[in-house]
Amino acid sequence: MTADRIALVTGANRGLGRSTALALAARGVRVVVTHRGDVAGAEETEQHVHAAGGTAAVVRLDISDVSSFGAFTSELSVLLGRWGASRLDIVVNNAGVGVFGPLEAVTTDDFDTVFGTNVRGTFFLIQSLVPLLAEGAHVINVSSSLTRHTSPATSVYSASKAAVEALSRTLAAELGPRRIRVNSIAPGPTATDFNGGAMRDDAGMRQGLAGQTALGRVGEPEEIGDAIATLASDGLRWMTAQRIEVSGGALL
């Protein structure tokens, strides 16, 4: 990777998004850090990138608000212009939400929130960004190992991520003539603040999940960020329409 490449990472104010932004920046990629409202977190990511000698900028984006995408892409175009560019080379759709509960507890609002953000938001953001994607760009959609195995009270979240994987395969075919690759990456149990930070802070949960992985532990966010950055590299330029799981061998 060279320093003239530019990546957009959604939800890069924390967790996997931040780790991805830092991993890309470490490989010489300039990074657009988006957040839904956590300005301090996004600016902290930006500061980490700058401290490591990289280039980053912060832009607000709520992927559940499709009506805001026009204004967002206009702002993004201005930012790219300040960097002497007009195109994005990498898009990482990391931002998403999880609402968990057993069948009888899930409400229509819960369902609509998860699908409206994880599926509808992701799809229409890609649609909005297509005019800004460079020839040979790469779109990476973050899924979950839960599309392969099951866990109690995760039905709606898992279904939304399965939809993201289906979108990724179809969009890979649609965008292939422009040499744009589209893949999905499926993290397994990872120690982030997602879902209240349970996998990071609950020692009992960590121990239980560790016993279900081939490598005997839960993942660290840096390991997912490195995997995404590797997937975005030219070393995997012949890979598209694939689901890549990064789970330490969870529930084999």
List residues with catalytic annotation.
157
User: What span, in angstroms and rounded, lies between the C-alpha atoms of 135 and 192?
Assistant: 34
Polymer length in residues for the chain: 252
Residue 134: half-sphere exposure toward Cβ, Cα within 13 Å: 16
Tokens representing 129 are 């960004």
CA distances from 90 to 56, 151, 153, 240 (A): 14, 32, 33, 13
Contact present, 221 and 16 (Cβ < 8 Å): yes
Report the run of H or E that residue 77 belongs to, with start and end: helix 69-82
Give the whole-angstrom CA distance, residue 230 versus residue 241. 16
The Cα–Cα gap between 68 and 73 comes to 9
Block residue for tokens 């932004």: 21
Determine whether 140 is exposed, middle or buried from the number of CB atoms within 10 Å of its CB (0-12, 13-18, 19+).
Answer: buried
Going by the DSSP 8-state scheme, the letter that residue 197 receives in this structure is G
DSSP-derived secondary structure for 79-115? HHHHTT---EEEEEE---------GGG--HHHHHHHH
| 217 half-sphere exposure, CB direction, 13 A CA radius | 6
